[in-house]
């Protein structure tokens, strides 16, 4: 059963761009016909931080972000497979920890391939990062080129979920 239009008004979407040294996040709220960027940021770690520390830290940060902002939905980028098998495995474990955090908080979650995000934001699944930034600045003028690229990606991921919700209720 598809959500009703009125039920969608209180939706807060957490977009997450997982990374091993920096993970971007952004919260978009559905307000009428326009998205509202509530907050965005990134979580970073030092090179010498252990993988176990990063897993615990991402859990703590996301738990606070979700709790402090009444997040109802989440979208996460499904990263491409790296040619380095070890890096791909570690990133998959990290993504699993993020997904577990969302599941423990009963947050509805969806995954997007990078090409899907590009298509939602620009209409072209093969566009450049610069084109994505341009479209995001058009939608959210406070997003600028100095913003961390993981944070920008997280905004695009959350906005993709926003657009997909609009498609479902048409």
> According to the model, what pLDDT value does residue 9 have?
58
17 is catalytic: yes
Residue 145 pLDDT? 63
Number of domains in the chain: 1
Q: Residue 17 annotated as binding?
A: yes
Spatial neighbors of 100 by CB under 8 A, at least 6 apart, are 59
pLDDT (0 to 100) of residue 100: 96
Q: Which residue of the set 77, 108, 131, 167 is catalytic?
A: 77
pLDDT for the residue numbered 3: 43
Residue 75 counted as domain residue? yes
Tokens of 93: 């474990």
- Which segments of the chain are extended strands (E)? 12-17, 22-31, 34-44, 73-77, 108-112
The pLDDT value given to residue 30: 87
Range of the domain at 146: 7-168
For the segment 102-116, the average pLDDT, to the nearest whole number, is: 95
Is 77 labelled as part of a ligand binding site?
yes
Q: How confident is the model at residue 83, as a pLDDT?
A: 73
Region 80-108: what's the mean pLDDT? Answer: 87
36 vs 166, residue with greater confidence: 36
Averaged pLDDT, 55-64:
96
Which among 4, 17, 131, 167 is annotated as catalytic? 17
Bridge partners of 29, per DSSP, are 12, 36
pLDDT of residue 63: 97
Q: Give per-residue pLDDT as tens, 132-166.
A: 988 999 999 888 765 788 999 999 999 999 999 87
- Of 9, 13, 31, give the one whose Cα is nearest residue 73: 13
The proportion of the chain whose per-residue pLDDT surpasses 90, expressed as a percent, equals: 62
In a domain, 34, yes or no: yes
Whole-prediction pTM value?
0.90
Split at pLDDT 50, 70, 90, the class of 170 is: very low
Does pLDDT of 8 surpass 90? no
CATH number for position 62: 3.30.420.10
Residue 1 lies in a domain: no
């Amino acid at each position: 059963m598809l959500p009703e239009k009125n039920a969608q008004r209180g939706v807060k979407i957490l977009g997450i761009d997982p990374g091993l040294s920096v993970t971007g996040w952004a919260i978009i709220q559905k307000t009428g016909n326009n998205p509202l960027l509530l907050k965005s940021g990134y979580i970073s770690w030092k090179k010498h931080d252990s993988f176990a520390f990063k897993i615990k830290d991402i859990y703590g940060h996301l738990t606070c972000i979700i709790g402090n902002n009444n997040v109802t939905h989440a979208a996460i980028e499904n990263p491409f497979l790296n040619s380095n098998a070890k890096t791909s495995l570690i990133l998959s474990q990290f993504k699993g920890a993020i997904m577990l955090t969302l599941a423990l908080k009963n947050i509805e979650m969806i995954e997007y391939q990078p090409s899907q995000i590009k298509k939602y934001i620009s209409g072209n699944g093969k566009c450049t990062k610069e084109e994505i930034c341009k479209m995001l600045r058009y939608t959210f003028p406070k997003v600028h080129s100095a913003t961390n690229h993981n944070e920008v990606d997280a905004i695009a991921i959350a906005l993709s979920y926003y657009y997909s919700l609009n498609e479902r209720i048409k």
